[in-house]
Amino acid sequence: MGTAQVSAVAIVCAARRGIPVALHTPSEVKAAVSGNGRADKAQVTAMVVRLLRLADPPRPADAADALALAICHIWRGGTQARLAAASAADARARLAGAAPGSAARQAAARQAAARQAAARQAAMRQAAARQAAARQAAIRPAGLTGQAARGQAAPRRAGAWPPGMLEAGGPR
């Protein structure tokens, strides 16, 4: 039995018991964790260690993949909730007696789409902010803040500015 067949069996078993199932592609997981959908296993493992502040990489190696999948789902899992809300809005319109293609049904669909778009944009902004914060936390050396953490510490001796720098308003 192939991997796809085993996955399908697991999905069917979960669906029969009412357990929600989420599917994420490998490139989606890699992009969520490392910022690059074509990252290799070492990059994903390194980012999992940094994001979760682990002392050592997870063992066995597949454990890092499982943790990356969990991180991806936490950051991007809101899609399923939005789809469920859209289906519920459509079901409410049908129960209200709106015929397919009617103005009421189209209005309900537009409202649901607008809510989904707003929720999607908010989720994307939150995910981007979390990813940026996680990357900065992973990159920033411990104990440094402000300009020093960004590698922009001010010079400490007179004449350290390059010629013309002070006239240009200092370093940017």
The CA-atom distances, in angstroms, between 160 and each of 97, 123, 147, 149, 171 are 76, 45, 17, 20, 12
Q: What residue ranges do the domains of the chain occupy?
A: 1-76, 78-129
The confidence score (pLDDT) of residue 136 equals 67
Q: What distance in Å separates the CA atoms of residue 33 and residue 38, rounded to the nearest whole number?
A: 11
Q: Per-10-residue mean pLDDT for the chain, 172 residues long?
A: 84 87 89 91 93 92 91 77 73 70 73 78 77 67 53 51 52 50
The confidence score (pLDDT) of residue 115 equals 80
Answer yes or no: CATH 1.10.10.60 is held by domain 1-76. no
The confidence score (pLDDT) of residue 156 equals 47
The confidence score (pLDDT) of residue 129 equals 77
